[in-house]
Structures are given as structure tokens and as C-alpha cells.
Amino acid sequence: MRLHELLTASARRHPRAVAVHGPEGPVSYAELDALADRYAAALTARGVRPGDRVVIWSHKGVRTVAVMQAALRTGAIYVPVTGSNPPARLTRITSSAAPALVVADPEAAERARPGWDGVPLVTFGELLEGAPAGASASAHESAPDDPAYILYTSGSTGDPKGVCISHRNALAFVEWAVAELDVGPDDRLSNHAPFNFDLSVFDLYAAFAAGAAVHLVPQEMAYAPAQLAQFMREREITVWYSVPSALSLMIREGGLLDEEPPPALRACVFAGEPFAIHHVQALRTRWPKVRLLNWYGPTETNVCTSYEVTDADLERTGALPIGVACSGDEVTLDPPGAEEGEVVVTGPTVMLGYWGGEPHTGPYRTGDLARRDGEGRLHYVGRRDHMVKIRGHRIELGEIESAIGSLDTVADVAVLVAGSGLEATLHAVVVPAPEGRPSLLNVKRCCAERLPTYMIIDRLHVQDDLPRTANGKLDRPLLAAKIEAGEL
């Protein structure tokens, strides 16, 4: 089985069932299969060959999904780039990926074309116009370890890094996830994440594997809490998957828990960052029949551990575990036998490597720190690169965030360091919960009850929200810059 064969198989089994419901409306499996075939013929007519890269610079929509599938059918590698990304970032990605073609939304193409001297750039409509009438493409026989797609993430050097994922990598996760959640043809999955974010792999391919429908959340709605809560109900979503910050926003400002549980919802999955425990407990209390799962894994491995929330977590005071290994992977800590160590992943989901670099071999070192409890479950501690030293003491910022996040008055929190040496200070930036507004005294007291004295914060900043990247994760560099500039 290859990744694109999930769609073609479901199109044979469920031709009239809804495959994707996008801004254009719903399309059936038969319609999506036919559209992907037309685009595959168009790509071939444009000279795209097996192993070539096709950059898709667009907002989410049916045609975007169709071109992704078309690229796979020709043996090409698709590279999704969110339409809101500026031309300058597109140029950096194309410089790295060296694609044969860039396919773009009309408005994106219009922004880029003045001064564009890169690879051929066409709109979706122009691509189809170039295909021979009635042409269809014959599917390329990709090998399981051939690259399927490249997801560009922010690199530590400032240049985007292309995480190269094979058919085998993606299918190992998708097949596990479909079985774990028992996804079937009657399910309706949400797609909250942009296509360049690894969360979207589950949304699209779990749906295609099961013959289910995937409902695309428009980008302009991604952080509109009331609209998201309404979307969940009106589309009768059965399996929701998003970053925790989206769910927190829906709880705080979207009235998500003000009504009875969404009747169709049976599973709510979250990943990408820690989820405030009081929000997890609120969901468990208000939605006792909805499965809640915390998934963990960097883009380089997709989901490699999983933890399912139980009633016992209602008494928990710290963050949820990230759980145990899944997707056929083995997850260990380094150094072996240590109480705490770096998360290391071995198994079928580990990436081929970074595009343009040496192939990755052996285990993948995540850079994340975790500890294993007496029941064998992993608990996320933080990032190696968030480990700082203040006045000689090593401090993991995530541990302070976990402590402050336990307060009922805190909906979201980020802790950062400003200054250096003896002048270094710990700053907590918090979003208040509906229950009240935290004070510096309360936050300091909370830290003092849970942490060593050198980990007690020095400054508190209360904000309406925390800055987020396009993928919905905390934008630490922007927040640090605002603190250093005295803008908070």
C-alpha cells in the first residue's frame, strides 16, 4: 500500500460518500479521485517526473488536496506551503526543495509574479488548462521508502528545514491511528491544522484510509473560538484533532463547554504542546463519554507516543503524561536508566532525513526531555534548548510553566528569561482564566510551593493571548523580543 492508494481504494468502495468538505463545499470520493487524476495528467504534461518536487502554495481547499494526491500518483514529492506565507519564505523553500513546479492560489501567484524568476509558477486553473483533453495519468509504482512529502519547519539557523517523509513513515502512523480510534466510513474528521503541519496527516489520510469525510477548517476560522465551537457542532464532527491552544481558546472564549456535549463527537485528540491540566479536567468532566487523547511526537517522527485521559486524571495536579510508544515505534530515554533524559525514537515513523542533507539513519534524538514513571509512561519535561542557567542554576522553563499552569486563574502561560548573568530575570506571561486574574503574589506563592527558590518568577505579565506561529504553537522568539523591548 502507498499513501495515495488510500484514496483510490476508498473511491472504489465508497464512490458517492463525502471525501472532503472544503470551502467550496463537499466532494465525493469519486469526484476527488477523478480530479486528482486530471491534475496528475496535467503535472505529467508539465514535465513533472518521479522524484520531482511540487510545491503547493495555497490555502486549504479541495483542489489543494487533489494536487497533493496527483503529485503522489506521478511519483513526485509534494511540498505544502500555507498560502499566507509571504513570497520571501516561498523563495527560501523553493531554493531548498528545487521543485519542478510551484502551484499556487491565484491571489498568491499575483503577489509572487512581479520579479519572480524562479521555477515555473502556475495557478490551479492554469495547471488544468495545460493538460491534454481527456488525458489521464497512469499511477507510478512508488516504493514504500520513496519520499511522499516534505514538511518545512523553522530551523535553528533561521532557514526552513525540510522534513522528508516516506510512504512507509506516514502509513505506519496512519494505520495505527485508524485502529486506535476505530475510524470508519461514518466518521467525520476535522482538519484544523494547515497542510504544512504534521497534524494534518492524520486528518486527511485517516479519513481516506477509512472512507470517512474530512472537514477542512478555513484558515480565517482557525483561531475564532465561537466559530470553531459552532463548526464542531454544525458539521457533526466525530473526531476532533488540534493543538491544545485551539481547544483552550474554544473553552475560554467560544463557549465550548457551555452547552451539552456535541452529540456526534466521540474522540478529541490534541498534540503539539502541553495542555493546561484544568482545561483537560474540564473537558473530562463535561464530556465523560468522549475519548480524550494526548499525542506526542516531533515532525521528524509524527506521533510516537500516546496517552488516553481517564477519570483518575481529574485528581492530577501536574501536566498529563505523553504516554507510551505507538505507531510501531520504540521510545527510550538517553542516558539509559536515568530518571530523566532525552527522548529517542526508533521505528517506522522516523523520517528519511532533511531534504538536501544526508539520509537519516538510526534513532532520532528529539531534543525533548522526559521522565518515565513507575507505570512506564513518559512525562514531558521540556526542551533541551529551553534549559537555561540563572545565577548558576540549571532551569527547565517548562517545569515552571507546568507549576503556574496549575492555577485556576491561569488559562495559558509562557516563562522566559530576560537579561543575563546576575541581571537575568524570570518572566511569566499569562492569559487569565474566566475564574479570575492572577496576581504576582499568587503566582510567586504557587512557584514557592512546587519549585526551588531560584525558580520563582521575578515578573508577571497578564495578556489577553499569547503570540502564536502559523502552526498554532507558542511564538517564543516574538514574546522574548517584546519582553526585552519592554512592550508587555
Which pLDDT score is estimated for 116?
A: 86
Q: Which of 128, 144, 170 is the last residue of a domain?
A: 170
At 273 the pLDDT is: 83
In-domain check, residue 419: yes
254 and 164 within one domain:
no
Residue in this structure with the C-alpha cell 511526537, named with its chain if needed: 297
Query: Mean of the pLDDT values across residues 160-168?
Result: 94
377 and 280 assigned to the same domain: yes
Query: Domain boundary residue among 350, 384, 418?
Result: 384
Q: What is the mean pLDDT of the chain?
A: 91
Give the C-alpha separation, 329 to 323, whole Å: 13
What is the domain range of residue 431?
391-484
Residue 125 and residue 14 share a domain:
yes
Q: List the Cα angle 266/63/146 in 5-degree steps.
A: 80
Gyration radius of the chain's alpha carbons: 23
Compute the average pLDDT of residues 95-120: 91
Residues 475, 400 share a domain:
yes
- Residue of 365, 360, 385, 354 whose CA lies nearest to 160: 354
Do residues 296 and 269 lie in contact, with contact meaning Cβ atoms separated by under 8 Å?
no
Grid cell digits, residue 245:
491552544
Tell me whether residue 455 is in a domain: yes
Q: Are residues 130 and 158 in the same domain?
A: yes
In a domain, 288, yes or no: yes
Query: Is residue 153 included in any domain, yes or no?
Result: yes
The answer to whether residues 414 and 378 belong to one domain is: no
Closest of 361, 327, 322, 328 to residue 343, by C-alpha: 322
pLDDT tens, residue by residue, 20-51: 999 999 999 999 999 999 999 999 999 999 99
Q: What is the CATH number of the domain that holds 428?
A: 3.30.300.30
Question: Residues 15, 89: one domain?
Answer: yes
Within this chain, do residues 366 and 331 fall inside the same structural domain, yes or no?
yes
**414 shares a domain with 317:** no
pLDDT of residue 156: 46
**Whether residue 380 is found in the same domain as residue 404:** no
Q: What is the structure's pLDDT at 309?
A: 98
Q: Omega into 335 within 30° of 0, i.e. cis? A: yes
126 lies in some domain:
yes
**Band of residue 422 on the pLDDT scale cut at 50, 70, 90:** low
Q: What are phi and psi of 8, to 5 degrees?
A: -65, -35
In a domain, 321, yes or no: yes
> What CATH number does residue 65 fall under?
3.40.50.12780
Count the domains in the chain.
3
Identify the domain boundary among 384, 416, 442: 384
DSSP, collapsed to helix, strand or coil, labels residue 102 as strand
The reply to whether 346 and 232 lie within a common domain is yes
Question: Do the domain assignments include residue 206?
Answer: no
Residue 25 pairs with which residues in a beta bridge?
A: 22
pTM, rounded to two decimals: 0.84
Q: Angle between the 199-210 and 5-13 helix axes, to the nearest 10 degrees?
A: 30
In a domain, 182, yes or no: no
The answer to whether residue 131 scores a pLDDT higher than 80 is no
- Residues 378, 451, single domain; the answer is no
CA distances to 66, 211, 474 from 187, rounded to whole Å, are 21, 8, 31
